Amino acid sequence: MTDQIKIMILSGVREQGKDMFAVQVNDEIFVMDAGLKYPDSSLFGIDVVIPDLDFFKEYGDRVAGIFLTHGHADSIGALPYILRQYDIPVFGSELTIELAKIEVKRENKHCDNSLFHVIDADTEIDFKNASVSFFHTTHSIPGSLGIDIHTPEGEVVYTGDFKFDPTAAPDYRTDMDRLAEIEQKGVLALLSDSSNAEASFPSASEQDIGQYVTDVFRNAKGRIIVAAKASNLNRVQEVLNAAHATGKRVPLTGRDVAKIVRTAMKLGYLKVPKGLLMRVKDLKTTPDDKTVILETGRMGEPLNSLQKMAKKRHSMINIHKGDLVFIATTPSHAVETMVAQTSDMIYRAGGTVIELGRNKHTSGHATGRDLQILIDTLKPKFLIPVIGEYRLLEIHKNLALKAGMNKDDVYITKNGDCLKYDYTKKRFYLSDPVPGEDTMIDGSGVGDVGNIVLRDREVLSDDGIFIAVVTIDRKKKKIVAQPQVTSRGFVYIKANHQLMRESVDVIKNAIDNNFEHKKFDWTELKQDIRNDLEKFLYKKTNRRPVVLPVVMEVNQNRHRALQKKNNKKDSVNKRAKNSEKKEAKSKIDNSKSKKSN
């Protein structure tokens, strides 16, 4: 077999979240990360979005393993849905694997733990065609690792989410010596994080942020409600440190944060002073100025929980006058509007808001300067910007050109692209695409909601639904009962009686025209009703609701069967009566005969 190297962009480019990439060396495929993203406002009713699972249907028998860079949802969130159908080994650091198990068991309580394998930065795994090793990276969660796949043509390096911070704690620090070792082997391709590429000035160090959080807590006069992602353990540690330094106590209000915090404590990644944590029921007896509430919400997203608190609909906590809400997570562009709406609700409820991201430039992702340092350190032959929206990929490319790379050696890709290495020309080129569509999760349904359903939901949200119910007799070609019409989200029925009456006439005319001019067909009859109603309603209201015609038929066969059954019953009763009459007559005749004798 001819040697081949492919880099597959399964998900995570031209978007934010659901990172998943793969490297194929001959007949083995190494999948890197398996994340999800939270939907924007255009995905009506969708819970989360994950990469295209058809990839595993087509290539699952060649997948040697899934290698995780860290424990955030954009890296591990798709695992429950993949492992539900496919038994694929999963590799990650100790904390990453524990968080992955929590994520998987939320959807699948009978998860096979033998699929999970703990590795560290010193691990090297030899496969048939390649070897996989790892290196420490700096991110907002400990145990973050980059991935290095050794191929016959050089190293393929995937950073995952990373940044450079020389002041980071040891558990969070990037291993620069290891990067230098990888460079010595020769880096064929670098898949590098682009999320923060447009940042032109450095992020604040975590030491500075920790001091800022402490200052905020010290100046607060009432309760402090901290909104953070449960898996951002760096921020959680800073909150716990600040609470301890200012003499406050902390309850864990959500199931997710409790599981994650206790897991991190057990593994030694979170240092929690004795007596700092308290139970939720102790809130009643703890003074407001001694209370810090750590709120993360379901799936680690705190904004929905804050809105419930502001509306006084939260199961445990309501925001009241004097509360300070400290939003300790930097929101993505997709939820900035939601952050503003949430802040407005909090102020209406009597609280105040401080956003960390407005006062400190903080991010768990590399700035433009960091990206150039990485390129200069690894000196890759080819660069593939990943993890970011399109403008960020282009900015990353421009940064690489300024760092000395050739523009032909930087590939801007899209989901589903497959770059195949040409051994003769020593370059990558686009090969046959791989599955790269979105798989949408709605409740327990995986991938059963597509573009058509979403389009209908969009129309329903815009103009509502109009329902027409009519019963016909197709044998006699007539309407049996007056058509009934109703609507939801379209017009207020009580104020639009005339519109409803005219709609009934439109339905009658559509049915009469169909009976008179066409051969009977259920689909065509419904389509005629739908078309005529849509035109009429748009002409009258300038709106286009979803029109749902329900056409029922008088069942002639059933009536004939009932008539036949009734006729049969009458015949039996008639014979029985005749028999009774004959028997009675016979008795009378016998009696007369005895008397005459």
What is the DSSP-derived secondary structure letter of residue 489? S
Residues in the chain: 597
CA atoms 426, 428, 429, 433: torsion sign: positive
For residue 116, list its beta bridge partners: 90
Q: Kindly provide the residue ranges of all beta strands, DSSP E only, lying in 489-590, ordered along the sequence.
A: 546-553
Residue 439 contacts residue 451 (beta carbons within 8 Å): no
- Phi/psi at 525 (5° precision): -65, -45
Q: Which residue reads 């660069």 in tokens?
A: 383
CB atoms < 10 A from the CB of 332, how many?
15
Closest CA to 34 of 84, 77, 98: 77
Amino acid at 33: D
Residue 195 contacts residue 396 (beta carbons within 8 Å): no
CA 230 to chain centre: 17
123 annotated ligand-binding residue: no
Q: Which residue reads 């979240």 in tokens?
A: 17
139 annotated ligand-binding residue: no
Residue 148 contacts residue 133 (beta carbons within 8 Å): yes
- CB neighbour list of residue 567: distance below 8 Å, 6 or more residues apart: none
517 annotated ligand-binding residue: no
For 393-441, the three-class secondary structure string (H helix, E strand, C coil) is HHHHHHHHHHCCCCHHHECCCCCCCEEEEECCCCEEEECCCCCCCCEEE
DSSP string, 206-231: HHHHHHHHHHHHHH--S-EEEE--TT
C-alpha to C-alpha distance for 159 and 197, rounded to whole angstroms:
14
Angle at 386 between CA 384 and CA 390, to 5 degrees: 105
362 annotated ligand-binding residue: yes
329 annotated ligand-binding residue: no
Residue 443 contacts residue 421 (beta carbons within 8 Å): no
Annotated binding site: 361-365
Annotated binding site for substrate: 361-365
